[in-house]
C-alpha cells in the first residue's frame, strides 16, 4: 500500500523536473534567438561618439532592419572590425565598434576645410563634437561597403584611418538608450546635407 501511495508523488516530482528543464531550455533558446537575430544590448567604451553617445551608455542594438532594408546615411551602427583594422590591431578582432554611416556604396567622399563632402555636396553635421581638423579623400566607397566616422570626429579611430566596413560586418543599428535613465530614449539618426551652392555669373 505504501508503494502505491508514494508512486503518484514521485511521478509528480519527476514531471516537475522535466517541465522545469523544458522551461529553462525554451527560455535560453528564446534569449539566444532574440540576441542573435532581433536585438542585443551593448555599451559604449570610448568617447568616439561624443556628444551623441557617452562612455558607459547602454544601448539596445536592433538587427531586423537590415534584414529587409539597406543601411542609410546617418545610421549609427555596430559592426565587427574589417580585415584591414584587424591586421593593424590584431587584439581588436573580437571587439565590436560603433560609428555613424557617412558614405554609402558608390558615394564619393572627401573631408576638407572642416567639412565632409558627399558627391561634392557638404554634409550638415550639427551632431558632431567639432569640425574635422584633417583632410581625407576624395575616395569612392566600394560596393557593399560603408564609410563610417565617429561623431567625435577628431578623436575617433574610424574609416579615415582604416578604410571601409563591408555590409556583412554590420551587426545592427543602435536603436534605444536604456541607461543612464535621465538620457533614456531612442537614438537619433541623421540624414541631411545641403545642396551645393550654385555658381553665379
Catalytic residues: 48, 99
Q: Are 2 and 8 in contact (CB under 8 A)?
A: no
Which of 26, 190, 193, 36 is closest to 107 using CA atoms?
193
Closest CA to 125 of 147, 160, 101: 101
Cα separation of 4 and 7, whole Å? 5
> Distance between CA 31 and CA 5 in Å, rounded?
40
Amino acid at each position: 500500500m505504501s508503494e502505491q501511495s508514494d508512486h503518484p508523488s514521485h511521478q509528480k516530482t519527476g514531471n516537475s523536473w522535466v517541465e522545469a528543464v523544458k522551461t529553462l531550455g525554451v527560455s535560453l533558446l528564446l534569449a539566444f534567438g532574440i540576441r542573435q537575430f532581433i536585438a542585443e544590448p551593448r555599451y559604449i567604451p570610448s568617447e568616439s561618439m561624443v556628444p551623441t553617445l557617452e562612455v558607459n551608455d547602454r544601448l539596445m542594438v536592433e538587427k531586423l532592419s537590415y534584414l529587409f532594408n539597406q543601411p542609410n546615411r546617418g545610421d549609427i551602427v555596430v559592426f565587427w572590425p574589417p580585415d584591414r583594422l584587424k591586421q593593424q590591431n590584431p587584439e581588436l578582432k573580437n571587439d565590436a565598434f560603433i560609428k555613424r554611416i557617412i558614405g554609402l556604396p558608390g558615394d564619393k567622399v572627401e573631408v576638407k576645410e572642416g567639412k565632409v563632402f558627399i558627391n561634392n555636396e557638404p554634409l550638415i553635421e550639427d551632431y558632431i563634437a567639432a569640425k574635422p581638423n584633417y583632410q581625407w579623400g576624395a575616395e569612392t566607397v566600394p560596393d557593399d561597403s560603408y564609410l563610417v566616422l565617429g561623431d567625435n570626429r577628431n578623436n575617433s579611430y574610424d574609416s579615415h584611418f582604416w578604410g571601409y566596413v563591408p555590409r556583412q560586418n554590420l551587426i545592427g543599428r543602435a536603436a534605444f538608450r536604456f541607461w543612464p535613465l535621465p538620457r533614456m530614449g531612442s537614438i537619433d539618426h541623421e540624414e541631411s546635407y545641403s545642396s551645393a551652392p550654385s555658381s553665379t555669373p
